């Protein structure tokens, strides 16, 4: 649904309030479903538990990526604009997005990541962060995104709380003209994260990092 004016917004909003089941089923009909839902909404006014699209099954990456490949694979999925002057703008098509997400999803499966497993994503604001989140969703893993400015202790807490098996990070990141070490922060955090058995490192800045044999890959 595209809303172009405030009047169209008010009409859509009133429709969603007056008949939410009809409104949201209309929105959901535009998605690609592996299994269509049996009921749109299950809710008792006195019960806080609300369920939508009962017994429906979908994979969000099929809706973000796959359904566009037959008609606009060479269209832009998104544009990455860097912070650093002179750094290259990256324009990613749906085809390229599909290839990168599938490649990373297969790497995660090779690492032993299965449906329901947790993956920590500690990356700068680069397209690879998008690939990481979509790759996790592709195979049914749960991604835990950790802000790139957090400390080793904050990363450690989040990894241990969710029992992550894999960490996706980069050698470093840019803040203005300053390089921030990210892999080194992860190394410090992982001194007390027994659940992590693999670390995948994206080369962003080119800075030298320590790589532990058998655990770290790039």
φ, ψ (nearest 5 deg) of residue 201: -115, 120
Tokens of 150: 């957090």
- Give the model's pLDDT for residue 149: 87
Helix (H, G, I), strand (E, B) or coil at 11: helix
Contact (Cβ atoms closer than 8 angstroms) between residue 160 and residue 178: no
Which residues of the chain are under the pLDDT cut of 50? Answer: none
Q: 166-170 and 216-217: which strand pairing? A: unpaired
- Quote the pLDDT of residue 45: 80
* φ/ψ (deg, to 5) at 210: -85, 135
Whole-angstrom Cα distance, residue 128 to residue 40?
35
> What is the reported pLDDT for 215?
96
The β-bridge relationship of strands 178-181 and 172-175 is antiparallel
**Both structure tokens of 52:** 């939508």
29 contact partners, CB below 8 Å, separation of at least 6 = none
The predicted structure's pLDDT at residue 158: 97
SS3 101: helix
The neighbour count for residue 111, using CB atoms within 10 Å, is: 16
The rounded distance, in Å, linking the Cα atoms of 10 and 122 is 39
Distance CA 33, CA 38 (A): 12
**Total-model pTM:** 0.88
Closest CA to 192 of 161, 214, 216: 161
Looking at residue 64, what is its pLDDT? 94
Rg (CA), the chain: 21
């Amino acid at each position: 649904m595209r809303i172009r004016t405030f009047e169209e917004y008010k009409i859509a909003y009133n429709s969603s309030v007056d008949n939410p089941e009809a409104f949201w089923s209309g929105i959901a009909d535009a998605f690609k479903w592996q299994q269509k839902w049996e009921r749109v909404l299950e809710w008792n006014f006195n019960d806080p538990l609300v369920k939508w699209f009962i017994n429906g099954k979908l994979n969000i990456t099929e809706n973000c990526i796959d359904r566009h490949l037959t008609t606009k694979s060479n269209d832009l999925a998104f544009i990455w604009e860097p912070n650093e002057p002179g750094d290259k703008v990256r324009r990613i098509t749906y085809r390229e997005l599909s290839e990168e997400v599938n490649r990373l999803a297969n790497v995660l499966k090779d690492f032993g990541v299965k449906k329901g497993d947790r993956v920590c994503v500690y990356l700068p604001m680069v397209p690879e962060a998008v690939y990481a989140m979509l790759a996790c969703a592709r195979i049914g893993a749960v991604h835990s995104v950790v802000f790139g400015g957090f400390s080793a202790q904050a990363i450690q807490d989040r990894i241990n709380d969710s029992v992550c098996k894999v960490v996706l990070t980069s050698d470093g990141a840019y803040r203005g003209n300053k390089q921030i070490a990210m892999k080194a922060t992860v190394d410090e955090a992982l001194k007390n994260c027994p659940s992590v058995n693999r670390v995948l490192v994206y080369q962003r800045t080119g800075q030298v990092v320590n790589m532990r044999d058998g655990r770290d890959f790039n």
